[in-house]
Chains A and B, each alone.
Chain A
Amino acid sequence: MATLKEVQLKISAVKKTKQITKAMNMVAASRLRGAQSRMVGFRPYASKFEAVLGSLAQSAGEGSSPLLIAREEIKRTHIILCTSDRGLCGGFNTNLIEKAADLAQEKIAKGIEVSFTAFGKKGRDWMRREKRTMVDQHLGVVGGTFGFNVASTSGRRMVTGFLENEYDEVIIVYAEFLSMARQIPVIKQVLPIPPLEKADEALQADADAPYLPEHITEPSPEALLGELLPKSVDVQIYRALLETSTSEHAARMMAMDNATKACNDIIQSLTLAYNKARQAAITGELMDIVGGAEALKG
């Protein structure tokens, strides 16, 4: 049985931990609100962009840009892995890294060379530890307030790499924000750009816009598409970063909430132990006094 003093120290230690986890929970909650509003702010741009791209692709025809054509033989794959910079967010990063590692394993088994770009420190550390080929790393992006230019810088690099045959395909691994309680790692192909949604489907997504397929375009649809396709890569990356940031904060909120609850449980059981020990000590002292008084009487 621990002494009274020891239990007391333990209780105050756990209480301090609880204060920290609670504060982290609240910080994550407020950051989550910010990240979510950024996601909402991006939606009109993204949906409009896709609609325009879809209709352009239709009038320009398939195969009108090298970015749309899948390579027959894939020798080199590039994986963009989005993770957070900081830990204490449950299995968030582990899940993402595992997903990327599985994907890489699959590719390597087929004899494909795999290289990486890291967004976030956790992913970078993993790549270093495992001695993977890391082409590029971006820290301080996920979870912070980054601008679209981060995505477009990286997007430009991917497009150049793809066109210069450095990579035959580019894949992004990120955490999709489904709800406060659910964020799942997903794999999406970035390059070659997967077949575009046709204008009719895009129309349904943006129902209030009366969409007329016959546009006058300036310059030609092909040229315009050539300008827009690289941007669609940026849009993809930007969306992945936003999703990952939002997911990170949500994951941390959950993890810290659980930690705070666990602290409460521990405090409760320790307090119980403390009270018991104190009672036992008091009873012991009483027995002594009573015993002493009896002896004097005797």
Chain B
Amino acid sequence: MAENIKLEIVTPEKSVVSEEAKIVMAPGTLGEFGVLSGHTPFMTGLKLGTVRYVDTAGKERFVFVSGGFAEALPDRVTILAESAERRKDIDIERALAAKARAEDRLSKAGDDDVDFTRARAALTRAIMRIRLAETPRV
């Protein structure tokens, strides 16, 4: 078994994850990618979505990230995201409220409105959070 890689997920507010992982999978702008130890130096933008990794105990973990970018080096992966939450930290109530709010705003805003784009982005974020929080745990 190959060595572990160090995974770090940081947001402007705090460091969300900092631990060893066996494999990390992240949603790149050009498609999902997986990183194992010994990866070629690699850098990419990230889409809104879920970062998955397998921790040293072999358990799969999920972290919601809202965009940002990732850098992979042979021994580490660093993810800089504007916001990130582990699955267990997702506040479902808040996400549901955000979803309702965004839907409400969408129904009111005009098509080419800045509000429209923003509300749609907010809606996507809320839906992704809810979906991740509701996926059955293995």
Contact = CB atoms under 8 A, between A and B. Distances in A.
Interface of A: 38, 41-42, 44-46, 48-49, 52, 56, 147-149, 151-152, 209-210, 212, 214-219, 224, 227-228, 235, 238
A157 to B, nearest CB: 10
B1 interface: no
Contacts, number: 70
Interface residues of B, number: 25
B49 interface: no
Contacts of B82: 148-149, 152
Contact of A212 (B45, B73, B83): B73
Interface in B41-70: 41-45, 69
Contacts of A48: 10, 78, 80
Contact of B40 (A216, A235, A238): A216
A38 B80 CA distance: 17
Contact of A45 (B11, B29, B73): B11
Per DSSP, chain A at the interface is: helix
B22 to A, nearest CB: 21
Given A38-B13, A148-B12, A209-B73, 5 more contacts: A45-B10, A45-B11, A48-B10, A148-B83, A214-B41
21 contacts: A38-B13, A42-B13, A44-B8, A45-B11, A45-B12, A45-B80, A46-B12, A49-B80, A52-B43, A52-B71, A56-B43, A148-B82, A148-B83, A215-B41, A215-B43, A217-B42, A217-B43, A217-B44, A218-B29, A218-B43, A227-B45
